[in-house]
Chain A
Amino acid sequence: MAEEHQNQIYLQPIPVRIWHWLNAFGIITLTVSGAQIRFPDYIHWLGSYKSAIYLHNTAGFVVAISFSLWFFYYTFVARTMANLYVPKVDDFKSGIMRQVKFYFLTYFLGWENPHHPTPDSKFNPMQKSVYLAIMFVLMPLVSLSGIFLTNVDPLRSLIVMIGGLKLLAGLHFLLACCLVAFIPTHVYLATLGRTPTDHIKTMWTGWEDEGEGHTEEPEKSNSTASS
């Protein structure tokens, strides 16, 4: 560990950071182009309808690729997927409540975050459950429904079997809305570090300050409202 990182821990390895920012910008692009695709009569941000479609498809592809990077990295390289993302029995018994109490009560009183992130336990119990839902349920379902929607003809019988194109498109839309709702919550919680940009810097450089008295230290956390 280099001198300059004396009081820091290396929390976000490069693959995670690449994935995260590809994902973040990808999802924002998808949101904007998706809005135009659904409401072309009101929204013309990206010029022609066709460019919105192409952009949406491309961004979807980028997000899917970066999702695989994330999955591959945590599962096969770092092998911390289960440890990081899956809440433990303890988390359910007391962890989540402890964290909720912190966010909605003791945080305002100025107490310290009960959870301290380490590379092996980056997320507090609340983050774990939300990230789990986002990364293992929402993202795969939205991507999958998107893949179906770009291959309607070849997958027609499957689509009919699951209840029709309208259901599929509706599902894609509503689940995407959940992801969109996650963004403001997520970005907001990311500002709850020692300084508002603390966690965001970590996500960019990989290094988290360990130092002195963490007043609060939730990294960004999760949300209640998002889903």
Chain B
Amino acid sequence: MFILELGCSRRFLSEFLPKGKYMKMDRSINYLWSLLFLMVLAVPLSASAMEMDDCLGCHGDADEVGDELFIDADKFIPTVHAEMGCVTCHESVTDEHPDDGEAVSKSDCLDCHEELGSQYMATEHAEYAVCSDCHDPHQVHGIEAVSGPTMNQQCSQCHEDTDVMDSHAEWLPQASLHIRKLPCITCHTSAEGYEIVLNITQKQKKAEGLKGYRFSSYADLKEISGEKEIQSIIDIDGDNNISLAELRTFNRNPAYKNFHLSGTMVPSEISHDLTTLDNRYDCTFCHASGPGSIQTSFLALPTEDGYYRRMTVEKGAMLDTLYGTPNFYMTGSTRSPVMNIIGLIIICGGFIMPIGHGTLRFLTRKNRKH
């Protein structure tokens, strides 16, 4: 029941609050407010007395309704959408469903996601793909919970990997490295900032015929953390913040030699404007924005249900000379100041001979006249 009103109250709110303010609430929804509205509005609007569990009783069982109509309860229930229940989005469903043969309404994402939605609908890409092509409304997650490769799977449904690789290689140096490492949306949305996300990555077993590295899953990490939480592998003091010292300890631990932290860049705010890419065409958007912009970083730890949660990483870790993030290096932006100084000293050393010897040579030139 309470279900429905959440959705309604949000829409209702949006009518009355100034847009900016409403959108802020959109992110951190005020459930107390919603509850209040629930009291007032709920009863008269509901068309069905069925609860989420009732719906899932049939739709959570593929044998009952078929694969097409199957909703994976394990994946749906942990999402924020589940907090609203089913009827919020399927308002027209009646108590007689499915026997009434009536089509069930499916709410429009734009009702609730007004800003992102209208931003997207205004772009050319809206002609090619609708929200549900990329998002399963029953399995939504925020960007912090989704890994880069998973995000890119959304795109690769329509943009074949090889096509993308070929077309980008025409202008992008190291195209395959970029495409493999980066979420498409880092370059293909208009977000103006980015942050670094580190993932624990492990060597695949040769015995299984696999090469290279892949992101470690929760189960992989549980194997090495044993009794303890997987977070303890790297967050030794358990404060949900990874310090430089903890990073170094992890990176130098010989027991983890098959693991390493691989870094990527994700937009720091979600935008759905897929058209703004001019500055991404200029490599220095990422490769020169320099030490300042490389400061904000997170570690993404896998969760039991296959998603991720983020922990903050101490500022400066990306720029640490050797052991902060030994495998995250971006030319131009993660150069180490210590090395720059050593390099400068070496080069200056090359001038000792010309200057020192040259001066003496000049002063003693008479000795060599014959």
Contacts and interface: CB of A to CB of B under 8 A. Distances in A.
A169 B331 contact: yes
Contacts of B290: 41
A157 B213 contact: yes
A86 to B, nearest CB: 23
B28 interface: no
B188 interface: no
Contacts, number: 145
Interface string B305-335: 0000000000000000110011111011011
A156 B367 contact: no
B353 A224 contact: yes
Given A108-B364, A178-B346, A173 B353 contact: no
B334 A185 contact: no
Contact of B360 (A50, A108, A180, A185): A108
A188 B354 contact: yes
B370 interface: yes
B370 to A, nearest CB: 6
Contact of A166 (B288, B334, B357): B334
Interface string B330-366: 0110111001101110111111111001101100100
Chain B interface size, as a band, is 35 or more
A119 interface: no
A226 B350 contact: yes
25 contacts: A39-B335, A40-B283, A41-B290, A48-B282, A50-B173, A156-B213, A157-B212, A160-B203, A166-B322, A166-B329, A168-B329, A170-B321, A170-B336, A170-B339, A173-B335, A174-B343, A180-B347, A183-B350, A185-B351, A188-B354, A216-B368, A225-B349, A225-B350, A225-B352, A226-B353
A178 B332 CA distance: 20
Interface in A50-85: 50, 53-54, 57
A107 B232 CA distance: 66
Given A49-B284, A49-B288, A53-B173, A165 B328 contact: yes
Q: Which 8 A-B pairs have the closest CB atoms?
A: A164-B326, A181-B350, A110-B367, A40-B288, A188-B354, A177-B343, A108-B364, A49-B283
B238 to A, nearest CB: 26
B327 A160 contact: yes
A160 B364 CA distance: 54
Contacts of A164: 251, 260, 322, 326-327, 329
B284 A225 contact: no
Nearest to B286: A49
Interface string B163-206: 00000000101101100100000000000000000000001000
